[in-house]
Every structure is written in structure tokens, then in C-alpha cells.
């Protein structure tokens, strides 16, 4: 029996996260940036067959939470499984507190408006 397949969708925010990570690393070492991009993209693609492998995001609590994460050190790929679809919501630096990252995002979004 073939494993269940999920359609993986990367949100604009998560795509922007990936772009920022790769751009930042490219400044120092384009070769390493390409390797990091490949590792992250392979992990995200893997969610198509192993959507439930990630753990629940501890900061959000696991009481009924649909938010999960996989670690591609040092990044956290945060996603949600919705029906037959996996939505990648964010790619964040695991060395920073989730609360700080959310606050930074809110401030950046506010500056854009």
C-alpha cells in the first residue's frame, strides 16, 4: 500500500523566510547558501509523504493544535496539516524565541502599512 500523499503549499511568508535565510548566507558563502536552500527544500518536499512526522509546536501548546514543526538545524519549519494539504507557514531560526520572532514580524508588517 502506497503512503498517503499530501499537497505541500509554501505560504508567501514562509517563502519570504526562505529567501531571507538564503540571501543572508549568500553574503558570506554562496556555496553554503545553496546547500542550506537544498536541505530546507528537501525537508519541505518530504512533508508530502510524512506530514505528521513533526512534533507539535511546544510554544503553541498541543491541545488540539494543528501546528507542527520539523527541525532542519538551526531552522524550524512550522506547518499545518489541513485535510489533504500541508501548509508551510514559516521557516524560523530555532536559536531565537518564537515570541520574539512573531513580534519582529508584526513590527515589520506594521512598517509596511
Global confidence as pTM? 0.83
In a domain, 102, yes or no: yes
**pLDDT per residue rounded down to tens, the chain (113 residues):** 667 899 999 999 999 999 999 999 999 999 999 999 999 999 999 999 999 899 988 777 765 578 899 999 999 999 999 999 999 999 998 877 776 666 676 666 666 66
State the residue range of the domain holding 87: 7-112
In a domain, 1, yes or no: no
CB of 80 closer than 8 Å to CB of 68: yes
In a domain, 57, yes or no: yes
What is the domain-level CATH number for residue 38?
A: 3.30.2310.20
Predicted pLDDT at 106: 65
Predicted pLDDT at 112: 65
In a domain, 71, yes or no: yes
**CB under 8 Å to 76, separation ≥6 — which residues?**
69, 70, 90, 91, 92, 93, 94
Q: How many folded domains does the chain comprise?
A: 1
In a domain, 39, yes or no: yes
Amino acid at each position: 500500500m502506497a503512503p498517503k500523499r499530501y499537497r505541500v503549499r509554501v505560504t508567501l511568508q514562509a517563502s519570504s523566510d526562505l529567501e531571507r535565510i538564503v540571501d543572508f548566507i549568500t553574503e558570506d558563502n554562496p556555496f553554503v547558501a545553496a546547500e542550506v536552500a537544498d536541505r530546507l527544500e528537501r525537508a519541505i518536499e518530504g512533508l508530502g509523504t510524512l506530514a505528521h512526522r513533526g512534533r507539535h509546536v511546544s510554544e503553541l501548546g498541543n491541545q488540539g493544535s494543528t501546528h507542527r514543526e520539523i527541525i532542519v538545524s538551526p531552522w524550524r519549519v512550522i506547518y499545518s496539516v489541513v485535510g489533504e494539504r500541508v501548509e508551510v507557514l514559516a521557516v524560523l531560526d530555532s536559536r531565537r524565541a518564537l515570541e520574539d520572532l512573531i513580534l519582529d514580524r508584526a513590527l515589520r508588517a506594521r512598517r509596511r502599512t
